[in-house]
Structure 1
Amino acid sequence: MIRKRNWLLLVVLLCFTTSLSAQYEIKVEIENSKDSCLLLGHYYLDKTYAIDTAWSNKGKFVFKKKDKKLEPGIYFFSNLKGRFCELMIDTEQKMSLKTVENDWVGKMKVKGSKTSALYFDYMQANEPLNKEYERLSKAKDAMTKPEYDSCLRSVQLRGDSLKNSFIERNPQHLLSKVLLATKAVQVPEMPILQGEDGKPDSTEWANRRWYWYKQHFFDNIDLGCSGLLRTPSAVFFRSYDYFWNEVMKYESVDTILVYAEQIIDKAKGSKAMNRFLIHNITERYLQSPVMGHDKVYVEMVKRYIKTGKADWLSPSSIESEVLRAEKWENILIGKTVPNLACPDENNVWHDLYSMNNKYKILIFWSADCGHCSTEVPKIYDFYKQYKEKYNLEVMAVNTESDTLHWHKFIADKDLQWVNVNGLVANFDWREYFDVVKTPVV
């Protein structure tokens, strides 16, 4: 019995110790400070968040939580006037910061965190260069362009040397990851090859350079480092967002999925980054403005959510995403839709397959929908203009029970295409086409 009690006591002590190790405590002392309180915050992608408040005790402030561990990243403390000072958080989360009111960064001394201490060492070493940039900016108009460019280049080279030296000495430090992430990849020189006609093929050369750029876009960004998520947007998110919005903008679905898989694989060492990438890529193609790219969403759900790799999602969320993806898969480009049949105003039935036109447009709309009342007439103008030229027909399906308003709208706008009442149909088109709101084309 005594052994059992001792064992239980050991378990309790271990749990208590684990709880203590998970807390953070950041003491900030600012000599001559007149601030009544400071806020603790962090960056996340392209936003900032305040997470804690500390009240002044004669210039001493303490941010502390017993039940919370901070995720790695760049944090900051700020007064209510917006003045702020950044610091780096990694595994060491009990630290003391001491400085003076007139120079928070320059006079900062750190105890308890090697990560933050090295960060401030770098910032303080970089301060003379910042002042040199300011001096050059003010003196620019009084200098010749060659003179200004020469001075600017000299400062830039010293800055690059400082960065490279820090990275070489501290390759695993979060600041090294940050400094590298802000460095754009440089496409190497490539020869212009001759085409079949014996002339230089500049198109092939440009395509080869573009392919290299895509393949190496993330070379300087350590996707296994979750701390990059909590940095200013210029460090990680701006480049990441640019890759999907611009570099991948006109790529095929298959190409996008290849790059998505490669990028997610690079983040396997970081649960937080892996989670972000799967969620972000899936969601951005849920709302993609590029026609056909909705297939990326469907495939991401099938590959990562349906297979259980998105283990942070609840069973109900997984079920909801999978159900939506299955609906969307029915209506992807290249899929043949079922033969929808509905009656018109005179109870004459029409179906898609009996419309012997080269192009068919299927519209779900409501006469009571404000957006529909604006967009449907525009679509009809397009229809009138190109009906004969492209052998085009439209089946416009009413979605609401107010058929009187539907009849009136058709008459008022003189809609001379195939108008049918979707309240009576040969299958549940709402479910099949995932018609949640209107208009849907």
Structure 2
Amino acid sequence: MQRLVSLLSLFLLTLSAQAQDPAYEITITIKPFQNQYIYLGYYYGKTKPIVDSVRLDEKGTGVFKGNKKLDQGLYLIGYPDKSNYFELMVGAEQKFSVITDTANLVNTIQYIGSPENQRFNAYQKFTNEKGMAMDKAKRELAASTNKADSTRLTQLINETNTAIQDYRLKYVKDHPKDLLTLLFHVMKEPTVPPADKHPGGKYDSTFAFHYFKDHFWDDVYFFDDRVVRTPVFEPKLDKYFDQLIYPNPDSVIKEIDWMLGYASANAEMKKFLLVKFVNRYLNQKYMWEDKVFVHLFEKYFSQQNYSWMTERGRKTVFDRAYSLMANLLGNPAPGVELPDTAGKIRPLQELKSPYTVVVFWDPTCSHCKETLPRLDSIFQAKWKKSQVAMFAIAKESEGTKKDWMDFIKGHKLWDWTHVYYSKQEENNRVSAGVPGYSQLFDITTVPTLYLLDKDKRILAKKIPLEQIDEVLAFKLKGQ
């Protein structure tokens, strides 16, 4: 019995020792720092969050360690003042040592117990050497005065580029699972076939564009979350949407759904992309992007909860979606029924005109006081003869009805339909559980302009009056 107890005690002690064994342990010795804190961070898209810190001893040595494995990716060792750092790979092997001197980092750094980082350092040394040679050749080329030198230096630059590409290709072949291989895949851009390989045997710009787009993500997998912990993935994502996707909601939505379809196999990757897309389309750069945000909400947020999403973040997404749903581009504008200067209710939908410009403004707003007279000048000079109607909604803030009436009279805005949206009316709607007009039209600043067609569908919204004028000119020309 005593032997059984002893064995049991030994077994429990072994389990305890195993439980305390760190999942990651990275020992850093870094000159010239001592008795100071250094930091362990990583790339997360365009940010660099810190996950650990350690105080160096008098020999400049410290140990980062923890009981949970680090997510794999490209990490950073931040200096005490956080003004600089160096990079290292964190892959499956997370117990190793690093010895270096900041005076000559790349050439002095030693990795013990991490073959992947040794290979990474070899690549850094190689590219440093080639990079310096290329920079020297480019400077000499810029200063060259004869054809022979120009030819020689151009050839040297091309050969150096080829050497770097060959190094990467060999590395990918020899070490397909390394994080550096993943970086090379993300950094790589498609090489369009030469013109004689295009349809018809001559250069075809449409073929070249589609080839480049279709092969842009070759060897990059949206279920591999290591890519988000690199500095190259998010810029590549931005380039794809900014330069290769047609600026249209259906095109953008198709690409988002395609990416998230693959990313659904990896919770971290799905989180990264959802946060990226929500932040991008929360405040739209272009009018049509409202549909993209509403699609994101309806498909990925309205019926799903995420552990990583705070209540505040969830409320922001839901509130923004509800504000946009009522005024999507191409949909009928929300109905408005408010009193005019005589106290008569004037419904927006009863205006009979091929086009209506709706302007939300505030009689106490200095920018509104500047914009409305300019708007009337354009209306009188151009729009009025085309039977464009003006519907102005004055939103009460600190001013009064008298301020509103005085402004209309003072600037002779007689040819407009003017209605007044009082604080009381706003409160009455909200108290009755009816969205206020500010929410329905997504009014966050004034003045805000909308352009409606004859059926009161939204043609343009929340753009400057000059752009409203351009859209109207285009529409009127096409009538």
Q: Which category describes the TM-score, using the shorter chain as reference length? A: 0.7 to 0.9
Deviation per residue, 1:15-54 (Å, 9 max, x gap): 98567545x4322224x63566444433332344455544
User: How far apart in 1 are the matches of 2:411 and 2:63?
Assistant: 65
Could you tell me how far 1:146 is from its partner in structure 2?
0.6
Change (3 A) 1:336 1:78: closer
User: How far apart in 1 are the matches of 2:331 and 2:101?
Assistant: 67
Q: Aligned letter for 2:411?
A: K
Moved more, 352-361 or 48-57: 48-57
Could you tell me how far 1:244 is from its partner in structure 2?
2.0
| Structure 1 equivalent of residue 352 of structure 2 | 356
| Structure 2 equivalent of residue 75 of structure 1 | 75
Q: Aligned letter for 2:409?
A: A
| Structure 1 equivalent of residue 242 of structure 2 | 245
Q: Aligned letter for 2:153?
A: Y
Q: Aligned letter for 2:233?
A: F
| Percentage identity across paired residues of the two chains | 22
Q: Aligned letter for 2:236?
A: S
User: How far apart in 1 are the matches of 2:175 and 2:330?
Assistant: 52
User: How far apart in 2 are the matches of 1:397 and 1:381?
Assistant: 18
User: How far apart in 1 are the matches of 2:366 and 2:61?
Assistant: 54
Aligned mate of 2:184, from 168, 179, 182? 179
Could you tell me how far 1:303 is from its partner in structure 2?
0.8
Could you tell me how far 1:177 is from its partner in structure 2?
0.8
| Structure 2 equivalent of residue 155 of structure 1 | 160
Could you tell me how far 1:69 is from its partner in structure 2?
4.8
Which runs of at least 4 in structure 1 moved beyond 6 Å after TM superposition? 9-16
Aligned mate of 1:409, from 407, 412, 424? 407
- Total equivalences in the alignment: 425
1:271 aligned onto 2:271: no
Q: Aligned letter for 1:430?
A: S
Whether contact under 8 Å (2:34, 2:60) holds in the other structure is: no
Whether contact under 8 Å (2:33, 2:60) holds in the other structure is: no
Q: Aligned letter for 2:64?
A: K
Change (3 A) 1:231 1:386: same
Could you tell me how far 1:86 is from its partner in structure 2?
1.5
Deviation per residue, 1:402-434 (Å, 9 max, x gap): 223322333343333111101248974234334
| Structure 1 equivalent of residue 332 of structure 2 | 336
Aligned mate of 1:438, from 429, 442, 446? 446
| Structure 2 equivalent of residue 259 of structure 1 | 255
Could you tell me how far 1:304 is from its partner in structure 2?
0.8
Whether contact under 8 Å (2:73, 2:229) holds in the other structure is: yes
| Structure 1 equivalent of residue 283 of structure 2 | 287
| Structure 2 equivalent of residue 197 of structure 1 | none
| Structure 2 equivalent of residue 421 of structure 1 | 420
Q: Aligned letter for 2:183?
A: V
Could you tell me how far 1:257 is from its partner in structure 2?
0.9
**Secondary structure of 2:121 counterpart:** helix
1:64 aligned onto 2:64: yes
| Structure 1 equivalent of residue 225 of structure 2 | 226
Change (3 A) 1:213 1:125: closer
Whether contact under 8 Å (1:28, 1:62) holds in the other structure is: yes
Q: Name stretches of at least 5 consecutive residues in structure 1 with no aligned partner.
A: 195-199
Whether contact under 8 Å (2:22, 2:67) holds in the other structure is: no
User: How far apart in 1 are the matches of 2:342 and 2:417?
Assistant: 12
**Normalising by structure 1, what TM-score?**
0.83
**Secondary structure of 2:407 counterpart:** helix
| Structure 1 equivalent of residue 459 of structure 2 | none
Whether contact under 8 Å (2:290, 2:329) holds in the other structure is: no
User: How far apart in 2 are the matches of 1:396 and 1:14?
Assistant: 75
| Structure 2 equivalent of residue 86 of structure 1 | 87
Q: Aligned letter for 1:148?
A: L
Whether contact under 8 Å (1:301, 1:322) holds in the other structure is: yes
**Secondary structure of 2:105 counterpart:** coil
**Secondary structure of 1:144 counterpart:** helix
Q: Aligned letter for 2:230?
A: T
Moved more, 11-20 or 280-289: 11-20
Could you tell me how far 1:207 is from its partner in structure 2?
3.4
Whether contact under 8 Å (1:185, 1:220) holds in the other structure is: no
Could you tell me how far 1:167 is from its partner in structure 2?
0.8
Q: Name stretches of at least 5 consecutive residues in structure 2 with no aligned partner.
A: 450-479
Change (3 A) 1:193 1:139: closer
Change (3 A) 1:317 1:14: farther
| RMSD (Å) for aligned C-alpha atoms | 3.6
Deviation per residue, 1:255-289 (Å, 9 max, x gap): 11111111222323432221111221233122222
Moved more, 62-71 or 263-272: 62-71
User: How far apart in 1 are the matches of 2:240 and 2:16?
Assistant: 44
Moved more, 310-319 or 220-229: 310-319
**Secondary structure of 1:105 counterpart:** helix
Whether contact under 8 Å (1:52, 1:63) holds in the other structure is: no
Match runs of 1:204-215 below 5 Å: 205-215=204-214
1:380 aligned onto 2:376: yes
**Secondary structure of 1:104 counterpart:** helix
User: How far apart in 1 are the matches of 2:60 and 2:363?
Assistant: 65
Change (3 A) 1:407 1:59: farther
User: How far apart in 1 are the matches of 2:167 and 2:189?
Assistant: 17
**Secondary structure of 2:43 counterpart:** strand
Q: Aligned letter for 2:41?
A: G
Could you tell me how far 1:12 is from its partner in structure 2?
11
Q: Aligned letter for 2:420?
A: N
| Structure 2 equivalent of residue 41 of structure 1 | 41
| Structure 1 equivalent of residue 106 of structure 2 | 105
Whether contact under 8 Å (2:97, 2:112) holds in the other structure is: yes
**Secondary structure of 2:106 counterpart:** coil
Could you tell me how far 1:11 is from its partner in structure 2?
10
